[in-house]
């Protein structure tokens, strides 16, 4: 078996570790973090990457041809709704977003959301690749705005930008088994302290990512979109259709 993976940068450390353990080759194409904020752009970038992968694959020797393209994404704000398979099947986890994948299951994710309100999630990838609420991010924005607009205006602008933070009550750090560095946890804990959130560390799981790369795709956990078909959201717990 030979796979191509299209992945959001938030999975950099976790997916790289899973690829290193995988029994067969996996060629990863990374897309920037944050595309889920504009679902149409995320969809276009994934479809464009699929096209590029398939063009290269069509010219590869038979022994190096791909068997499938796996998507390291969930529904992600609807960005996967409308992603189309070309010549190769597409495989995607039945997940709302990256958090469930990093926790190891959609059920575990939903259980956390049901048990407490207002969770802001921290992971190594979100800390490294996103503008994650934190002292570092706040101080950098304050310096930038002060230089551009003056100290008084800078403070007011930041207060207006950060009103959404009041909707959160907890900061949870997902500790990646493949990334034991305590620096990420300390970063998340400091951010939670700064914003007055309860803080908790939970152990993530590589199981869902490893299963995605395994080639043995359980229909309860993965949607396998046949060549020529299009992914669509189902608005139910399956998230994607049973093809």
pLDDT tens digits along 169-213: 999 999 998 887 799 999 999 999 999 999 999 999 999 999 999
- Edge-to-edge strands of the sheet including 222-225? 26-31, 3-8, 68-72, 90-93, 222-225
The verdict on 52 and 88 lying in the same domain is: yes
**Residue 241 belongs to some domain of the structure:** no
Reduce the DSSP state of residue 50 to 3 states and report it.
Answer: helix
pLDDT of residue 179: 83
In this structure, are 197 and 222 located in the same domain?
no
**Cα–Cα distance measured from residue 84 to residue 232, given in angstroms and rounded to the nearest whole number:** 9
What's the mean pLDDT when you consider all of the chain? 96
Instruction: Tell whether 126 and 77 lie within a shared domain.
Output: no
For residue 231, the model assigns a pLDDT of 98
- The total domain count for the chain is 2
- What end-to-end distance do the CA atoms of the chain give, in Å? 21
pLDDT for the residue 166: 86
178 and 113 in a common domain? yes
Would you say residue 199 lies in a domain?
yes
Calculate mean pLDDT across residues 59-81.
Answer: 97
pLDDT at 67: 98
**Is there a domain that residue 236 lies in?**
no
Give the mean pLDDT of 40-56. Answer: 98
Within its chain, how far is the Cα of 110 from the centroid? Answer: 16
Residue 113 lies in a domain: yes
What is the pLDDT, as a whole number, of residue 65?
A: 97
Residue 23: inside a domain: yes
Mean predicted confidence (pLDDT) in 48-75: 97
CA atoms within 13 A on the CB side of 146: 8
Q: pLDDT band at residue 156, thresholds of 50, 70 and 90?
A: very high
For the packed helices 151-161 and 135-149, what is the interaxial angle rounded to 10 degrees? Answer: 140
Looking at the fold, whether 210 and 197 belong to one and the same domain comes out as no
The model scores a pTM over 0.85: yes
Claim to verify: residue 186 and residue 119 sit in the same structural domain:
yes
pLDDT score of 122: 98
Please report whether residue 179 resides in a domain. Answer: yes
Q: Tell me: pLDDT of 86 over 90.
A: yes
Flag whether 243 is in a domain.
Answer: no
42 neighbors 76 (Cβ within 8 angstroms):
yes
Calpha distance 3→65 (Å, rounded): 9
Q: How large is the C-alpha radius of gyration of the chain?
A: 19
The interaxial angle of helices 182-195 and 135-149, nearest 10 deg, is 60
Residues 196 and 210 in one domain: no
Neighbours of 1 (CB within 10 A): 14
Confidence of residue 117 (pLDDT cuts 50, 70, 90): confident
| 101 pLDDT more than 90 | yes
CA dihedral (167, 170, 174, 175) positive or negative: positive
* Same domain for 131 and 89: no
Contact 36, 48 (CB under 8 A): no
Domain that holds residue 225: 3-99+206-231
Considering the domain architecture, whether residues 22 and 55 belong to the same structural domain is answered as yes
Q: How confident is the model at residue 28 (pLDDT cuts 50, 70, 90)?
A: very high
What are the pLDDT digits (tens) for 134-143? 999 889 999 9
Are 174 and 131 contained in the same domain? Answer: yes
From residue 172, alpha-carbon distances to 117, 143, 169 in Å are: 12, 27, 10
Residues 87 and 13 in one domain: yes
H or E element that contains 199: strand 198-203
d(CA 139, CA 155): 11
Q: Is residue 240 part of a domain?
A: no
Compute, in degrees rounded to 10, the torsion defined by CA atoms 61, 63, 69, 72.
-110
On whether both 73 and 13 belong to a single domain, the answer is yes
């Amino acid at each position: 078996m030979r796979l191509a993976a299209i992945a959001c940068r938030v999975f950099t450390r976790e997916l790289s570790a899973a690829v290193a353990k995988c029994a067969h080759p996996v060629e990863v194409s990374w897309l920037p973090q944050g595309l889920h904020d504009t679902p149409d752009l995320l969809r276009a970038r994934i479809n464009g990457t699929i096209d590029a992968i398939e063009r290269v694959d069509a010219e590869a020797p038979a022994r190096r041809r791909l068997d499938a393209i796996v998507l390291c994404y969930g529904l992600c704000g609807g960005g996967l709704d409308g992603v189309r398979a070309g010549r190769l099947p597409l495989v995607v986890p039945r997940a709302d977003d990256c958090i469930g994948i990093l926790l190891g299951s959609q059920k575990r994710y939903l259980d956390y959301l049901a048990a407490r309100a207002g969770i802001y999630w921290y992971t190594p990838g979100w800390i490294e690749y996103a503008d994650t609420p934190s002292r570092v991010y706040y101080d950098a924005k304050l310096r930038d705005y002060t230089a551009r607009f003056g100290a008084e205006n800078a403070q007011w602008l930041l207060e207006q930008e950060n009103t959404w933070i009041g909707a959160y009550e907890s900061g949870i750090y997902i500790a990646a088994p493949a990334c034991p560095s305590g620096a990420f946890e300390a970063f998340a804990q400091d951010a939670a302290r700064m914003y007055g959130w309860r803080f908790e560390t939970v152990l993530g799981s590589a199981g869902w990512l490893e299963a995605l790369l395994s080639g043995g795709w359980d229909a309860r956990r993965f949607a396998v979109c046949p060549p020529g078909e299009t992914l669509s959201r189902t608005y139910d717990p399956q998230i994607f259709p049973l093809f």
